[in-house]
């Protein structure tokens, strides 16, 4: 949510930002906010004048009582009561208009950074840089589900019986690789000075509304029936929500945390769910990172954060590239975002395995997170980034570390988490 003062002082900037995000249907909302804001300020001015008059009259009542001017006392009291009734009506109207303004403001997209490329959708995202050689080996790379089957590592059939499409059992060495990757990502973030946290896996609607747009919530999140709770689609929502309505001392910044959670997503719409594989599923696990910092430090942190993810994947023998998300591909709260994509030697293309975003002060405004600084309170900037999310990271790992004989090479950084193994050999070949 942007500052309403920006709409008051520079509505053309806000409208151009809406156009840059190809959301022209929201242009009229800016004018509607200005109109409602003007009405609200008139009501506030009228209310302030009436309160001042009431205070003056209340002061006169005591004087009139002392002078025993009973008729004038009664007349003045009646005038005060009349003002009170008018104020009740004004305050009611103010509350209604303020709610309307807030609801519309929640739909206005955040102001994107000047460096963001203008484009309508993800097809117009811009490649920034590649890390590692995108090699296609001289032997065939099987589908990842088949690689897992070769080590007795996957059971989707049983998951279909227990839970339906979009769920899975990871088994044996498949499950061990999965957990090893999560643990390695966690410990890598320890080394960068981040504090480890396991957050709640369910959050209330006021936290959901504070960290994402309503449209995102509807598309992504599962609601717990009969309760004001949602299953987390990603742990940064719970992590940022941890600081809701808190005033943080400036000397405590930056706050840098890394969190583990399972993640639950509807994954509806055009993409659908895979019958055999693990690329698009309802449940996965993720190590995440979040930063809360001073506004002037957010871009520095943004660039540090996505590089952490690149380093992790490169340490696991996985070539990656970074893509700058264009304006039309940015969620409404985001100022700037990039995707980290891993190389698939089977498909001979890259696919998304992580995303890094800075959201400016949008989340802190919505959640009432403030910093107590020397010159007064202000809203901090919030950032989030995927450390490692599996099974997508697992897919990239299997394809890039598969050897010609069907065995899976385990890079050295992962070996301590998997019993010291350097090779996992197929059991069903």
pLDDT for 207-248, tens place per residue? 999 998 777 777 788 999 999 999 999 999 999 999 999 999
d(CA 285, CA 389): 6
Residues with Cβ within 8 Å of residue 344, at least 6 apart in sequence:
350, 351, 395, 396, 399
Token pair listed for 153: 């590592």
Handedness of CA 413, 417, 421, 427 (dihedral sign): negative
- Evaluate if residue 429 carries a pLDDT over 60: no
Q: Which domain holds residue 71?
A: 4-105
Question: 235 and 286 in contact (C-beta within 8 Å)?
Answer: yes
**Quick one: average pLDDT of 268-296?**
82
The reply to whether 175 and 88 lie within a common domain is no
Q: What is the pLDDT of residue 68?
A: 79
d(CA 367, CA 350): 36
**Quick one: average pLDDT of 393-414?**
97
- Evaluate if residue 353 carries a pLDDT over 50: yes
DSSP 8-state assignment for residue 273: -
Q: What is the pLDDT of residue 273?
A: 56
Token pair listed for 263: 């993640």
Q: What is the pLDDT of residue 428?
A: 62
* Strand pairing report for 381-390 and 349-358: antiparallel
The alpha carbon of residue 335 and the mean position of all alpha carbons in its chain are separated, in whole angstroms, by: 12
Question: Among 169-183, 265-279, 324-338, which stretch is predicted with the lowest mean pLDDT?
Answer: 265-279
- Peptide linkage before 254 cis (omega within 30 of 0): yes
Confidence of residue 184 (pLDDT cuts 50, 70, 90): very high
d(CA 82, CA 28): 38
- Domain termination site, one of 105, 134, 151: 105
**Number of structural domains found in the chain:** 2
Residues with Cβ within 8 Å of residue 116, at least 6 apart in sequence:
324, 325, 326, 327, 330, 336
- Evaluate if residue 285 carries a pLDDT over 80: yes
d(CA 404, CA 109): 49
The reply to whether 231 and 312 lie within a common domain is yes
The reply to whether 128 and 94 lie within a common domain is no
d(CA 429, CA 423): 15
Residue 117 lies in a domain: no
DSSP bridge pairs for 381? 293
d(CA 66, CA 24): 65
- Tell me what percent of the chain is helix, strand and coil, each rounded to the nearest 5: 45, 20, 30
Question: Among 1-5, 110-114, 379-383, which stretch is predicted with the lowest mean pLDDT?
Answer: 1-5
Highest mean pLDDT among 44-53, 277-286, 334-343: 334-343
The enclosing domain of 273 has a CATH number of 3.30.930.10
Q: What is the pLDDT of residue 57?
A: 87
The reply to whether 54 and 140 lie within a common domain is no
The reply to whether 61 and 158 lie within a common domain is no
Question: 413 and 399 in contact (C-beta within 8 Å)?
Answer: no
Question: 320 and 329 in contact (C-beta within 8 Å)?
Answer: no
- Domain termination site, one of 54, 75, 105: 105
**Quick one: average pLDDT of 21-41?**
96
Q: What is the pLDDT of residue 270?
A: 43
- Evaluate if residue 354 carries a pLDDT over 60: yes
Residue 281 lies in a domain: yes
Residues 126-135 have pLDDT tens digits of 999 999 999 9
d(CA 148, CA 178): 11
In the β-sheet with 247-249, what is the strand arrangement from edge to edge? 247-249, 370-373, 376-378
The reply to whether 369 and 319 lie within a common domain is yes
Task: Identify the residue with better confidence: 355 or 268.
Answer: 355
Token pair listed for 108: 């206005």
**Quick one: average pLDDT of 286-313?**
98
The reply to whether 277 and 139 lie within a common domain is yes
DSSP H/E element including 304: helix 298-315
* Strand pairing report for 169-170 and 370-373: unpaired
Single pTM value for the model:
0.90
Coil/strand/helix, residue 101: helix
């Amino acid at each position: 949510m942007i500052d309403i003062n920006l709409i008051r002082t520079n509505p053309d900037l806000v409208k151009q930002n809406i156009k840059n995000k190809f959301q022209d249907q929201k242009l009229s909302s800016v004018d509607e906010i200005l109109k409602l804001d003007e009405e609200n300020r008139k009501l506030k001015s009228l209310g302030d004048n009436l309160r001042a008059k009431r205070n003056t009259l209340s002061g006169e009542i005591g004087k009139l009582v002392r002078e025993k001017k009973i008729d004038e006392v009664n007349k003045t009291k009646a005038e005060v009561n009349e003002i009170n009734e008018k104020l009740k009506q004004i305050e009611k109207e103010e509350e209604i208009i303020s709610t309307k303004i807030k609801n519309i403001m929640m739909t206005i997209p955040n102001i994107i950074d000047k460096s963001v490329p203008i484009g309508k959708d993800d097809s117009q995202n811009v490649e920034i840089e590649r890390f590692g050689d995108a090699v296609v080996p001289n032997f065939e790379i099987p589908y990842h589900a088949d690689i897992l089957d070769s080590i007795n590592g996957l059971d989707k059939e049983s998951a279909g019986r227990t839970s339906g499409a979009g769920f899975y059992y990871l088994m044996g060495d498949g499950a061990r690789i999965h957990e090893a990757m999560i643990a390695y990502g966690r410990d890598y973030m320890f080394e960068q000075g981040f504090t480890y946290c396991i957050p709640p896996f369910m959050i209330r609607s006021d936290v959901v509304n504070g960290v994402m747009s309503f449209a995102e919530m509807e598309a992504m999140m599962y609601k717990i029936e009969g309760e004001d709770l949602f299953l987390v689609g990603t742990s940064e929502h719970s992590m940022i929500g941890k600081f809701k309505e808190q005033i943080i001392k400036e000397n405590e910044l930056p706050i840098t945390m890394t969190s583990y959670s399972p993640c639950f997503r509807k994954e509806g719409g055009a993409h659908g769910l895979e019958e055999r594989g693990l690329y698009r599923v309802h449940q996965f696990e993720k190590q995440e990172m979040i930063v809360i910092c001073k506004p002037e430090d957010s871009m520095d942190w943004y660039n540090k954060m996505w590089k952490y993810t690149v380093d992790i994947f490169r340490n696991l023998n996985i070539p990656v590239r970074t893509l700058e998300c264009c304006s039309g591909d940015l969620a409404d709260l985001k100022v700037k975002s990039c995707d980290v994509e891993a190389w698939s030697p089977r498909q001979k293309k890259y696919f998304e395995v992580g995303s890094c975003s800075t959201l400016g002060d949008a989340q802190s405004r919505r959640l009432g997170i403030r910093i107590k600084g020397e010159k007064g309170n202000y809203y901090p900037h919030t950032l989030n980034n995927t450390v490692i999310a599996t099974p997508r990271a697992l897919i990239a790992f299997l394809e890039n570390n598969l050897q010609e004989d069907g065995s899976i090479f385990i890079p050295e950084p992962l070996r301590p988490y998997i019993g010291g193994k350097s090779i996992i050999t197929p059991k069903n070949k």
